[in-house]
């Protein structure tokens, strides 16, 4: 009886209409935001910026990241908009339903180089992975890779040290916080390749910068970053 109930819940779940990523409005399949929320999204144009000019923001003299591409502006604060609401829902409630649609927006603006990049997610520490059951950045990376036909290396990087949340830290503290937190596990697979590092949101860039430095040391040719949203 229980398994029948569970099965019917899955069936109902699959048949249920898609909901807007930010509110409860019903949307057509594959649509990320309802009309009202979409109007309130600050889509970044151009999507891609050269990161060299962001050295001060990252708190580093030498920037190891070549470029950053983000679909929309992250709207935090009191008047939290649909982008922040969508990422909150993605992270804590609805990851598997939202991942394909968030990734589609990212894949559409990902820059195409001359050769396909190796797509890699920002890794989660194993303790958090056990607690949450999945790495949200890996979900996005898998879908971006599938949509663009690019290879995905989910285990290219590993988080060797669990770090406190970055939310309350300033730029310098963020850099100290992530120093030594990551390692390259499959350096051979990435040597001389172009890596596209995927994460849900770009905040200070401290995490991406720390990873990019490691990848460059491991012989990676170039590191670009792709996120759904970016704090501007
Ligand atoms: Zn909505």
Q: Please give, one letter per residue, the 3-state secondary structure of 155-185.
A: CCEEECCCCCCCCCCCHHHHHHHHCCCEEEC
Q: What is the pLDDT of residues 104-115, one digit of tens each?
A: 999 999 988 788
Question: Quick one: 15 and 75 in the same domain?
Answer: no
Q: What is the mean pLDDT of each run of 10 residues along the chain (232 residues)?
A: 67 77 93 96 92 60 84 83 95 92 97 89 90 92 97 94 70 72 89 96 91 94 96 88
Question: Quick one: 20 and 47 in the same domain?
Answer: no
Query: Rounded distance, CA 198 to CA 102, Å?
Result: 12
> For residue 133, what pLDDT is reported?
86
Q: How many angstroms is it from 229 CA to the middle of ligand 1? A: 17
Q: How many angstroms is it from 79 CA to the middle of ligand 1? A: 15
Question: Quick one: 187 and 216 in the same domain?
Answer: yes
Question: Quick one: 114 and 17 in the same domain?
Answer: no
Query: Rounded distance, CA 229 to CA 4, Å?
Result: 40
Q: How many angstroms is it from 82 CA to the middle of ligand 1? A: 7
pTM: 0.87
Q: How many angstroms is it from 27 CA to the middle of ligand 1? A: 8
Token output for 181: 């937190």
> For residue 108, what pLDDT is reported?
96
Q: How many angstroms is it from 124 CA to the middle of ligand 1? A: 29
Q: What is the pLDDT of residues 88-106, one digit of tens each?
A: 999 998 899 999 999 999 9
**Structural domain count, the chain:** 2
> For residue 50, what pLDDT is reported?
85
> For residue 33, what pLDDT is reported?
97
Q: How far is CA 109 from the centre of its chain?
A: 13
> For residue 67, what pLDDT is reported?
93
Q: How many angstroms is it from 42 CA to the middle of ligand 1? A: 14
Question: Quick one: 112 and 219 in the same domain?
Answer: yes
Question: Quick one: 46 and 36 in the same domain?
Answer: no
Question: Quick one: 31 and 89 in the same domain?
Answer: no
Question: Quick one: 28 and 116 in the same domain?
Answer: no
Q: How many angstroms is it from 95 CA to the middle of ligand 1? A: 17
Question: Quick one: 80 and 180 in the same domain?
Answer: yes
Q: How many angstroms is it from 36 CA to the middle of ligand 1? A: 6
Token output for 169: 């830290």
Question: Quick one: 100 and 170 in the same domain?
Answer: yes
Q: How many angstroms is it from 8 CA to the middle of ligand 1? A: 27
> For residue 180, what pLDDT is reported?
82
Domain that includes residue 58, residue range: 42-231
């Amino acid at each position: 009886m229980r398994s029948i109930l569970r099965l019917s819940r899955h069936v109902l779940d699959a048949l249920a209409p898609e909901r807007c990523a930010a509110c409860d409005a019903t949307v057509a399949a594959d649509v990320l935001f309802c009309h009202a929320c979409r109007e309130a999204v600050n889509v970044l144009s151009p999507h891609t910026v050269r990161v060299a000019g962001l050295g001060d923001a990252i708190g580093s003299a030498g920037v190891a990241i070549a470029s950053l591409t983000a679909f929309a502006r992250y709207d935090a604060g009191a008047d939290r908009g649909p982008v922040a609401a969508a990422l909150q829902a993605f992270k804590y409630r609805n990851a598997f339903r939202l991942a394909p649609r968030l990734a589609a927006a990212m894949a559409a603006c990902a820059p195409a180089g001359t050769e396909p990049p190796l797509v890699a997610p920002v890794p989660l520490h194993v303790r958090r992975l056990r607690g949450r059951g999945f790495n949200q950045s890996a979900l996005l990376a898998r879908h971006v890779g599938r949509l663009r036909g690019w290879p995905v290396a989910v285990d290219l990087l590993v988080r060797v040290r669990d770090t406190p949340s970055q939310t309350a830290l300033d730029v310098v503290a963020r850099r100290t916080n992530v120093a030594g937190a990551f390692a390259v596990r499959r350096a051979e697979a990435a040597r001389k390749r172009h890596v596209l590092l995927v994460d849900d949101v770009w905040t200070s860039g401290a995490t991406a910068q720390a990873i990019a430095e490691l990848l460059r040391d491991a012989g990676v040719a170039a590191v670009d970053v792709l996120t759904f949203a970016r704090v501007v």
